[in-house]
């Protein structure tokens, strides 16, 4: 067996774009060097979901506080640090390929040390150490507290660095081409036992971050110019339930959201990973009543057949999902609902798939991301019979895409002629959508989340600035994108 044959990669297909589920493999964007001019240069490569990105941003801040100069630029670096993803096969393949490429730099002497951390290490540390011995240090999620001591013991960081005052230490160093948009991870791990998911096996059970710490972190993000905060976790509705076990007065999600609204000046708060079963009426009422909590909800349902949902060990069924959608659409004006589904789960029949298609058409989600089923070691679904052939999974995936494309196109067409507030992400030199002199850009409405949804193409007779809010009149629409002119 060679190291390229590590026994950890079951078969799946790449997720679909647009409408990509957030837990998909993504390399981080370019990060300019940050930190003391004379410190060792450490290049950090982030792979995986937005929750991994938050972890990396905290690692970067810790490295800078301990004398390192950090960036995502490998050339000229002393150390390469790879934060891996272990979620699905395509993510693990990307992580492994990145490690192997970095190990070639280590062997050639282009970098002095290679450090690999994160989810994939937590799952497969022994196999990785055996197959890729040129890596200097592997640290799983439960070992990250030892990163700085390990780097010091190897002479990479100074042993007796003069302490930086706590108030001057950054909480996070953002990895983003749009630094006005960021993420707030409110908890770690997951208490659910979904049959297809291995996350609890390496991320652990659900642990909520203290409300006070989250508010301070959000305030820190606001101070550095963040205008949109995406609230994330494995199940955001579960926030605080673990704390309630020992403290009956511990806050739940509505209290956290209220604190973020009252104690920060962030204009846009966007909710992701809201399990339908955990959505309560008081949550819905709060979302509908607070302007800074966007009328946008990511609510993964994973399937639309009650039989498959039961096999998946999901905590809801069609009726629960219908009820939560009804609450939301009754109480949240101009709501955008996003969901995620899996096709090809073991035992999925044509009837099950058709039930899901009918359900998606009935609910008419504004956004849908779709995965093909990925077999994951150690999960209940890995032992289930009646596997769906790859070709059939691909065909069903295309059918979901076609259905959602039609739904999205019709909803976008209904927006033509309306005026909407958008957040400018990027200023462009030109645009295929507009002719003549002016300023061009890309932005997002309240109903367009970063990376996973469509965008709004802008034309302005005045200037545009990333991170600013402008009002735009929608003039045209496409299947996923909008096209509009900024009001003078």
Q: ∠404-410-416 over CA atoms, to 5°?
A: 135
Compute the distance between CA of residue 274 and CA of residue 236 in angstroms, rounded to an integer. 5
Phi-psi region of 378 (alpha: psi -120 to 50; beta: other; left: phi over 0): left
Compute the distance between CA of residue 297 and CA of residue 230 in angstroms, rounded to an integer. 11
Residue whose structure tokens are 């605080």 = 240
Q: What is the mean pLDDT of residues 272-297?
A: 97
Contact by Cβ (8 Å): 122, 155: no
State the pLDDT at residue 31: 53
CA dihedral angle for residue 217, residue 48, residue 71, residue 183, rounded to 10 degrees: -20
CA torsion sign, 185 to 187 to 190 to 192? negative
Residue 9 half-sphere exposure, CB side, CA atoms within 13 Å?
16
Compute the distance between CA of residue 370 and CA of residue 379 in angstroms, rounded to an integer. 20
Compute the distance between CA of residue 142 and CA of residue 13 in angstroms, rounded to an integer. 30
For the stretch 170-217, pLDDT in tens is 678 887 788 999 999 999 999 999 999 988 888 889 999 999 999 999
Which range is least confidently modeled, 38-47, 265-274, 397-406, 475-484? 38-47
CA torsion sign, 466 to 470 to 473 to 477? positive
82, β-bridge pairs: 45, 116
Compute the distance between CA of residue 47 and CA of residue 52 in angstroms, rounded to an integer. 7
State the pLDDT at residue 7: 29
**3-state DSSP assignment of residue 249:** coil
Please state the φ and ψ torsions of residue 108, each to the nearest 5 degrees.
-80, -10
State the pLDDT at residue 171: 78
In this model, does residue 96 exceed pLDDT 90? no
State the pLDDT at residue 318: 97
Contact by Cβ (8 Å): 45, 407: no
Q: How many CB atoms lie within 10 A of CB 278?
A: 21
Compute the distance between CA of residue 263 and CA of residue 276 in angstroms, rounded to an integer. 27
For the stretch 7-57, pLDDT in tens is 222 222 222 223 333 344 344 444 555 655 567 899 998 888 888 889 989
Residue 95 banded pLDDT, cuts 50, 70, 90: confident
The pairing of strands 268-271 and 293-298 is parallel
Residue 191, classified by CB atoms within 10 Å of its CB into exposed (0-12), middle (13-18) or buried (19+), is middle
Of the candidates 483, 309, 484, 339, which has an alpha carbon nearest to the alpha carbon of residue 407?
339
In this model, does residue 161 exceed pLDDT 90? no
Q: What predicted TM-score, i.e. pTM, was given to this entire model?
A: 0.87
State the pLDDT at residue 90: 76
- Quote the mean pLDDT of the chain: 88
Give the percent of the chain with pLDDT over 70.
90
State the pLDDT at residue 422: 98
For the stretch 359-398, pLDDT in tens is 999 999 999 999 999 998 889 999 999 999 999 999 999 9
Compute the distance between CA of residue 191 and CA of residue 120 in angstroms, rounded to an integer. 20
Compute the distance between CA of residue 28 and CA of residue 69 in angstroms, rounded to an integer. 17
For the stretch 347-361, pLDDT in tens is 999 999 999 999 999
Residue 61 parent element (H or E): helix 50-65
For the stretch 298-347, pLDDT in tens is 999 999 999 999 999 999 999 999 999 999 999 999 999 999 999 999 99
In this model, does residue 2 exceed pLDDT 60? no
Contact by Cβ (8 Å): 201, 171: no
For the stretch 312-323, pLDDT in tens is 999 999 999 999
Compute the distance between CA of residue 483 and CA of residue 448 in angstroms, rounded to an integer. 13
Compute the distance between CA of residue 403 and CA of residue 353 in angstroms, rounded to an integer. 13
Q: How many CB atoms lie within 10 A of CB 266?
A: 18
Residue 248 banded pLDDT, cuts 50, 70, 90: very high
State the pLDDT at residue 488: 78
State the pLDDT at residue 168: 52
State the pLDDT at residue 33: 56
Show the DSSP H helices in 414-468 as ranges.
none
Compute the distance between CA of residue 138 and CA of residue 407 in angstroms, rounded to an integer. 46
Residue 306 parent element (H or E): helix 306-311
Residue 102 banded pLDDT, cuts 50, 70, 90: confident
Compute the distance between CA of residue 293 and CA of residue 266 in angstroms, rounded to an integer. 10
| More confident: 258 or 203 | 258
Compute the distance between CA of residue 488 and CA of residue 482 in angstroms, rounded to an integer. 19
Show the DSSP H helices in 118-246 as ranges.
119-131, 147-153, 199-203, 211-223, 241-244
In this model, does residue 163 exceed pLDDT 70? no
State the pLDDT at residue 21: 36
Domains of the chain: 3-168 (3.40.50.12160), 181-413 (3.80.30.20), 419-486 (2.40.50.140)
Of the candidates 477, 450, 384, which has an alpha carbon nearest to the alpha carbon of residue 174?
450
| More confident: 62 or 342 | 342
Please state the φ and ψ torsions of residue 188, each to the nearest 5 degrees.
-125, 150
Contact by Cβ (8 Å): 357, 400: yes
| More confident: 59 or 284 | 284
Q: How far is CA 142 from the centre of its chain?
A: 21
Q: Which two tokens stand for residue 74?
A: 């490998």
The pairing of strands 482-486 and 469-477 is antiparallel
Give the percent of the chain with pLDDT over 90.
63
Residue 91 banded pLDDT, cuts 50, 70, 90: confident
- Please provide the size of the chain in residues: 488
For the stretch 399-444, pLDDT in tens is 999 999 999 999 999 999 999 999 999 999 989 998 888 899 999 9
Contact by Cβ (8 Å): 119, 376: no
């Amino acid at each position: 067996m060679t190291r390229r044959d590590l026994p950890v990669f079951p078969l799946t297909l790449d997720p679909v774009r647009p409408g990509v589920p957030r837990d998909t493999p993504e390399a981080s964007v370019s990060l300019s060097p940050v930190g003391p001019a004379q410190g060792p240069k450490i290049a950090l490569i982030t792979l995986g979901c937005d929750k991994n990105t938050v972890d990396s941003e905290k690692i970067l801040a810790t490295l800078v506080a301990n004398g390192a100069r950090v960036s995502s630029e490998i050339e000229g670096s002393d150390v390469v640090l790879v934060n891996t993803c272990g979620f699905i096969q395509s993510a693990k393949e990307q992580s492994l390929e990145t490690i192997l490429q970095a190990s070639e730099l280590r062997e050639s002497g282009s970098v002095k040390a290679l450090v690999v951390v994160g989810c994939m290490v937590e799952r497969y540390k022994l196999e990785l150490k055996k197959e890729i011995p040129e890596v200097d240090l592997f640290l799983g999620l439960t070992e990250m507290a030892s990163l700085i001591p390990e780097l010091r013991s190897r002479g990479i960081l100074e042993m007796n660095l003069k302490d930086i005052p706590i108030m001057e230490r950054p909480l996070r160093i953002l990895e983003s081409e749009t630094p006005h948009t960021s993420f707030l991870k409110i908890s770690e791990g997951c208490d659910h036992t979904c049959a297809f998911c291995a996350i609890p096996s390496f991320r652990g059970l659900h642990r909520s971050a203290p409300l006070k710490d989250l508010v301070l972190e959000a305030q820190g993000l606001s101070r550095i110019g963040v205008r949109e905060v995406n609230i994330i976790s494995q199940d955001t509705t579960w926030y605080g339930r673990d704390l309630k076990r020992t403290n009956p007065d511990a806050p739940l999600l509505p209290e956290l959201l209220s604190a973020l609204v009252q104690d920060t000046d962030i204009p846009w708060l966007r909710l992701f990973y809201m399990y339908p079963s955990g959505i309560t009426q008081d949550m819905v009422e709060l979302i509908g009543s607070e302007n800074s909590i966007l009328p946008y909800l990511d609510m993964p349902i994973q399937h639309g057949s009650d039989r498959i949902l039961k096999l998946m060990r999901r905590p809801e069924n069609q009726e629960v999902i219908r009820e939560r959608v009804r609450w939301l659409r009754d109480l949240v004006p101009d709501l955008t609902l996003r969901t995620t589904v899996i096709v090809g789960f073991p035992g999925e029949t044509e009837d099950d798939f058709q039930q899901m298609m009918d359900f998606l058409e009935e609910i008419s989600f504004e956004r849908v991301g779709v995965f093909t089923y990925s077999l994951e070691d150690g999960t209940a679904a890995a032992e289930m019979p009646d596997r769906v052939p790859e070709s059939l999974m691909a065909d069903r995936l295309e059918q979901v895409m076609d259905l959602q494309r039609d739904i999205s196109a019709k909803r976008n067409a209904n927006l033509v002629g309306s005026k909407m507030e958008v957040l400018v992400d990027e200023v462009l030199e030109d645009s295929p959508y507009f002719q003549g002199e002016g300023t061009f850009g890309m932005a997002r409405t309240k109903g367009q989340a970063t990376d996973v949804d469509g965008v709004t193409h802008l034309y302005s007779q005045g200037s545009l600035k990333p991170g600013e809010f402008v009002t735009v009149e929608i003039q045209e629409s496409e299947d996923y994108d909008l096209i509009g002119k900024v009001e003078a």
